[in-house]
Amino acid sequence: MQKGRALYTGKAKVVHETDMPDRLILYFRDDATAFNAKKRGVIANKGTINAYITAKVFSYLEGRGIPTHFLERVSDRELMVKKVEIVPVEVVVRNRVAGSLAKRMGREEGAPLRKPVREYFFKSDSLDDPMISEDFILADGLATEDEFEAIKEKALIVNELLLEMFQKASILLVDFKLEFGRADGQILLADEITPDGCRLWDATTLEKLDKDRFRRDLGKVEEAYLEVVNRLFPDFPEEVSL
Ligand code: ADP
Ligand code: UDP
């Protein structure tokens, strides 16, 4: 398999075509953005850490019945994936109040919720990812009824599986963002699952171990990403070159 030209350069990754029409290579960069790219920076080794975490997490989910786009880790920073048509809806799953929900509802970050909450945002940089309703997703045809049912169900199952995985590493999964895509008439989990798109708190101290350290200038950003990958996957240091 040959890596081809870059099809798209995003805020955190570069998407490359390959010599196979149904496969892509995702190249994970160290670049970090926040507040719709108004804040920019670099987190050392983030690309390597995030590619590794995504590969491992997607394999774990795939092995537990969640179809994903992930095929193979081809280098420290590159994953081969199935090409999908991304459903332009960012699905956020929350186990505790934080971030935009805390702000919107005037609530303390960390407040518990009686059950997981799913929220939907239209994937649009120019519109700043506005929140959208389930009805709008269907009325506008962003997804069909069947697709959206599959997405909603998979989001909750992924949450249960990730809660368990992170809990074993003494990490509290506060919230996270998922993207889904269509390929061969199926809905696949796509994009990435990393500390860029999850809120991860130390289960005991509640210390933040995710991109909020960058967003809020809390320092020790790379250290937090390393802490997450090392706690989840103790083989990480032997399998990559930092
Ligand atoms: P952004 O687009 O938000 O700046 P990235 O830098 O992470 O984000 O860019 C990666 C892009 O690739 C995202 O737009 C994501 O939706 C898209 N993508 C992820 N997985 C796939 C896939 N399997 N097929 C097609 N596009 C994908
Ligand atoms: N998130 C993301 N990409 C986005 C918006 C949110 O990955 O464009 C993630 C974010 O890291 C957090 C969760 O989704 O884990 C919920 O984010 P929230 O709605 O609270 O927005 P924020 O305040 O982080 O912008």
Of 87, 127, 191, best ligand 1 pocket probe by most atoms within 8 Å of the beta carbon: 191
Spatial distance between the Cα atoms of 167 and 142, rounded to a whole number of angstroms: 34
Establish whether residue 212 lines the binding site of ligand 2, counting it when its CB lies within 6 angstroms of any ligand atom.
no
- Quick: pLDDT tens for 65-115: 999 999 999 999 999 999 999 999 999 999 999 999 999 999 999 999 999
How much of the chain, in percent, has pLDDT values that exceed 70?
100
Asked whether residue 225 is domain-assigned, the answer is no
Boundary (domain end) residue, out of 35, 56, 84: 84
Q: Residue 193: pLDDT above 90? A: yes
- Check whether residue 155 and residue 167 sit in a common domain: yes
Spatial distance between the Cα atoms of 50 and 229, rounded to a whole number of angstroms: 8
Q: Residue 1: pLDDT above 90? A: no
Of 7, 11, 15, 123, best ligand 1 pocket probe by most atoms within 8 Å of the beta carbon: 15
Spatial distance between the Cα atoms of 77 and 122, rounded to a whole number of angstroms: 28
CB 76 within 8 A of CB 51: yes
- Check whether residue 98 and residue 28 sit in a common domain: no
The answer to whether the Cα torsion of 155, 161, 164, 169 is positive or negative is negative
- Quick: pLDDT tens for 132-173: 999 999 999 999 999 999 999 999 999 999 999 999 999 999
CATH label of the domain that carries residue 14: 3.30.200.20
Boundary (domain end) residue, out of 29, 60, 84: 84
Q: What is the CA radius of gyration of the chain?
A: 17
What is the full DSSP assignment across 69-138? SEEEEEETTEEEEE--EE-SEEEEEEEE--HHHHHHHT--TT-EEEEEEEEEEE--TTTT--EE-HHHHH
Domain that holds residue 67: 3-84
Ligand 2 nearest atom to the CA of residue 210, by list position: 11
- The upper half-sphere exposure of residue 154, i.e. CA atoms within 13 Å in the direction of its Cβ, equals 24
- Quick: pLDDT tens for 32-69: 999 999 999 999 999 999 999 999 999 999 999 999 99
Helix axes 46-62, 145-168, angle to 10 degrees: 110
- Check whether residue 115 and residue 80 sit in a common domain: no
Establish whether residue 147 lines the binding site of ligand 1, counting it when its CB lies within 6 angstroms of any ligand atom.
no
- Count of other CB atoms within 10 angstroms of residue 185: 7
- Check whether residue 56 and residue 103 sit in a common domain: no
- Check whether residue 90 and residue 190 sit in a common domain: yes
CATH label of the domain that carries residue 143: 3.30.470.20
- Check whether residue 125 and residue 150 sit in a common domain: yes
Q: Structural domain tally of the chain? A: 2
- Check whether residue 73 and residue 117 sit in a common domain: no
- Check whether residue 52 and residue 63 sit in a common domain: yes
CA of 30 to the centre of ligand 1 (A): 15
Task: Enter the tokens of residue 122.
Answer: 């239209």
pLDDT of residue 136: 98
Establish whether residue 84 lines the binding site of ligand 1, counting it when its CB lies within 6 angstroms of any ligand atom.
yes
Asked whether residue 95 is domain-assigned, the answer is yes
Asked whether residue 239 is domain-assigned, the answer is no
CA of 176 to the centre of ligand 2 (A): 7
Asked whether residue 241 is domain-assigned, the answer is no
- Check whether residue 34 and residue 105 sit in a common domain: no
CA of 148 to the centre of ligand 1 (A): 19
pLDDT of residue 232: 98
Q: Residue 3: pLDDT above 90? A: yes
Cα 191 to its chain centre, rounded Å, is: 7
Establish whether residue 100 lines the binding site of ligand 2, counting it when its CB lies within 6 angstroms of any ligand atom.
yes
Spatial distance between the Cα atoms of 178 and 189, rounded to a whole number of angstroms: 7
- Check whether residue 107 and residue 139 sit in a common domain: yes
- Count of other CB atoms within 10 angstroms of residue 50: 28
CA of 4 to the centre of ligand 1 (A): 16
Asked whether residue 97 is domain-assigned, the answer is yes
- Check whether residue 158 and residue 116 sit in a common domain: yes
Q: Residue 116: pLDDT above 90? A: yes
- Check whether residue 100 and residue 169 sit in a common domain: yes
